[in-house]
Amino acid sequence: MNVVDAPLASSELTSGRLPRFAPVIAGVVALGIGVLLGEVIIGGGLAGTAVFSGLAYLVLLPLWYLAVEGRRAAVDRLVTSLVWGTLLVALVPLVSLLYTVVRHGAPQINGTFLGQDAFILALHQPTGILHAIVGTLVITVAAALMSVPLGIFAAIYLIEYGAGSKLAAAIRFLVDVMTGIPSIVAGLFAFSLFTLLFGAAYRSGFGGAAALSLLMVPIVVRSTEEMLRLVPNELREAAYALGTPKWRTIVKVVLPTALGGIVTGVTLAIARVVGETAPLLLIAGLTTKVNWNVFDGFMTTLPVLVYSSQAKGHPEDFDVAWGAAFVLVLIVLVLNIVARIIGKIFAPKTGH
């Protein structure tokens, strides 16, 4: 038996199949072609070499598979290469952005930079961004406290109570409209509302939180609605069969099952608004001191500090802007990590 099967497995090259390292060989050849074409056509450069190499790879590898393994294998390799190619193209600006922020921002991080505000009492006193960190966290938490419960309860109504009703359809339409509202419009609304209520001189972090909540609510509603829609109806029916009231079924069965996705949606909503600048410039303003009172006084956030620092144009202000941008990226990273941990802890346990 082994003697008969041995010739069939002796060589992949002679059995109509390319070896596993064929993509590597095609990649090396494509790289050489890309370097050659890049030098001849555009005079070299990393970007030109990468583009020509990628195009050569997309042509060479499928043609090689077409000649040896047939049309199906060639199409499979072409689609696979396109998928990986688009992934790499999408990662290029992301990696470049992160690298630039880390390279310019990380050297600015120290105890003084993080633990001191920008209120100067002496001529050569070093400044920090503590006031912006506090403002970002306070305003974001306030916005989340306003928008997350509202968004989750609205999604519960749309899925569990208002399915098929005209009110639910109207709410969905309004949520879709709010999803596309520019942030500056939300800021103008909050500015106008608080100006009418408290006067033209009123500035506070609460007004900024109200503006950000307008941007968060539709994201929380849509993400929570989709997660609740994915919960199998069998779970609800089993709870009803045991005599469990509807509200208790939602609290004990539906929400815990969809908790991982809900937390992810809330995190995306927070990440969406934590970098907003325009609404906070209008209603929260800019200050150099730490302000813990969200209901009164100017309150600076990291995005506003980045904008105002780079607008000054001085080298030391650019350093402050890069450092603040680096801290903002770290805050978003920590939020995503916490969301992952919470989702894994509270996600329903599966077993066999």
> Quick one: pLDDT at residue 122?
65
Strands (E), 87-207: none
pLDDT at 212: 92
Q: What distances in angstroms separate CA 318 from CA 111, 141, 233, 241, 332, one per listed residue?
A: 19, 28, 55, 64, 21
> What does the pLDDT read at residue 6?
45
**What tokens were used for 341?**
């941990």
Enter the tokens of residue 346: 């509270």
Nearest to 224 by CA among 171, 166, 284, 183: 171
| Per-residue confidence (pLDDT) for residue 216, from 0 to 100 | 93
The ranges of the chain with pLDDT < 70 are 1-15, 43-44, 121-125, 346-352
Give the tens place of pLDDT for each residue, 105-120.
899 888 888 888 877 7
Residue 44: its pLDDT value, please?
Answer: 66
Q: What residue spans define the domains of the chain?
A: 2-107, 130-346
Residue showing tokens 């469990």 = 244
126 half-sphere exposure, CB direction, 13 A CA radius: 14
C-beta of residue 223 within 8 angstroms of C-beta of residue 265: yes
- Position 151 scores a pLDDT of 93
State the DSSP code for 289.
Answer: S
**What residues have CB less than 8 Å from 272, skipping those under 6 apart?**
215, 216, 219
DSSP state letter for 107? G
Name the token pair of 128: 């920090």
What is the per-residue pLDDT across 144-190, written as a single tens digit (0 to 9) for each? 999 999 999 999 999 989 887 899 899 999 998 888 888 889 889 98
pLDDT at 11: 43
310 Cβ contact partners less than 8 Å away, ≥ 6 residues apart? 317, 318, 321
Q: pTM for the complete prediction? A: 0.79
d(CA 88, CA 331): 26
CA–CA gap between residue 231 and residue 252 (Å, rounded) = 13
The pLDDT of residue 9 is 44
Q: What is the pLDDT of residue 10?
A: 42
Check if CATH label 3.30.2130.10 holds for domain 130-346. no
Dihedral sign from CA coordinates of 18, 23, 26, 28: negative
Angle of the 255-273 helix axis to the 205-230 helix axis, nearest 10: 140
CA atoms of 29 and 101, how far apart (whole Å): 35
State the Cα–Cα distance between residues 6 and 15, nearest whole angstrom: 12
